[in-house]
Chain A
Amino acid sequence: GDSVTQMEGPVTLSEEAFLTINCTYTATGYPSLFWYVQYPGEGLQLLLKATKADDKGSNKGFEATYRKETTSFHLEKGSVQVSDSAVYFCALGSGGYQKVTFGTGTKLQVIP
């Protein structure tokens, strides 16, 4: 079945550091790929998405490129802020009714 594997956390970075959170997937067909973010005490918010190979999703300085050849969708940000501290979930959408399959989540802590 479909699955998503993302790097273990927690990840601790200093403010303005470069962020990469790795994500790889296994799926049949042509899934859509998503990054969701969960801030403390809040629900899941869509951060960015890509729906086909080589698409780049971007939002709030974050970006990720849909790489079909490596089945990856790594999340990057050039300069993180304390306010980026959250749990980040890589996910894929598949099937006729677009069931979303999530990775385990990576907790990011940014320190001043």
Chain B
Amino acid sequence: EPEVTQTPSHQVTQMGQEVILRCVPISNHLYFYWYRQILGQKVEFLVSFYNNEISEKSEIFDDQFSVERPDGSNFTLKIRSTKLEDSAMYFCASSVDQGPQETQYFGPGTRLLVL
């Protein structure tokens, strides 16, 4: 069964460094998402992406975050200058279409630790 994959599974970085989290969505999906889960807290929506544009973003998704689909298969989340509070599990998700009938399929996550 097709699945969303994410790399790396774990990443440790120093505060102020840039990180890029990578995702390969399911191949026929057109809508892509990033979520994060700070330890012990809710899974929070960050951004949705369609047709090479951000379609919606949360207040968390400030100027230090960016997303890109650099080729036909990868979908990346970049954090330009990491802060301690960026430490979290980051989930990528994808869906075939938008709307209430659609299901988002999630990847296994990347655990980011900022020291």
Binding site for B on A (CB under 8 A): 30-32, 34, 36, 42-46, 49, 51-52, 89, 91, 93-105
Chain B residues whose CB sits within 8 angstroms of the CB of A32 once the complex forms: 100-102
Binding site for A on B (CB under 8 A): 4, 6, 31, 33, 35, 41-45, 48, 50, 55-56, 91, 93, 95, 98-109
Other-chain contact of B43, A30, A31, A45, A89 (Cβ < 8 Å) = A89
Other-chain contact of B98, A43, A97, A102 (Cβ < 8 Å) = A97
The docked-state distance in angstroms from the alpha carbon of A30 to that of B109 is 29
Please, which residue of chain B has its CB at the minimum distance from the CB of A36? B106
Given contacts A43-B6, A96-B98, A97-B98, 5 further A-B contacts (CB under 8 A): A34-B103, A44-B106, A97-B31, A97-B56, A98-B99
Chain B CB within 10 A, most for which of A43, A91, A101: A43
Task: List 17 contacting pairs A-B, 8 Å CB cutoff, sorted by A.
Answer: A43-B91, A43-B108, A46-B103, A46-B106, A94-B100, A98-B31, A98-B48, A98-B99, A98-B100, A98-B102, A99-B33, A99-B48, A100-B43, A100-B93, A100-B104, A102-B43, A102-B44
**B55/A45 in contact, CB under 8 A:** no
Please, which residue of chain A has its CB at the minimum distance from the CB of B48? A97
The docked-state distance in angstroms from the alpha carbon of A104 to that of B43 is 7
Please, which residue of chain B has its CB at the minimum distance from the CB of A33? B100
Q: How many whole Å from A68's CB to the nearest CB in chain B?
A: 13
Please, which residue of chain B has its CB at the minimum distance from the CB of A42? B108
The docked-state distance in angstroms from the alpha carbon of A110 to that of B55 is 41
The docked-state distance in angstroms from the alpha carbon of A16 to that of B105 is 30
Please, which residue of chain A has its CB at the minimum distance from the CB of B6? A43
Please, which residue of chain A has its CB at the minimum distance from the CB of B102? A98
**B107/A43 in contact, CB under 8 A:** yes
Q: Evaluate whether A98 and B95 lie within 8 angstroms (CB atoms) in the complex, with A30-B100, A34-B103 already known.
A: yes
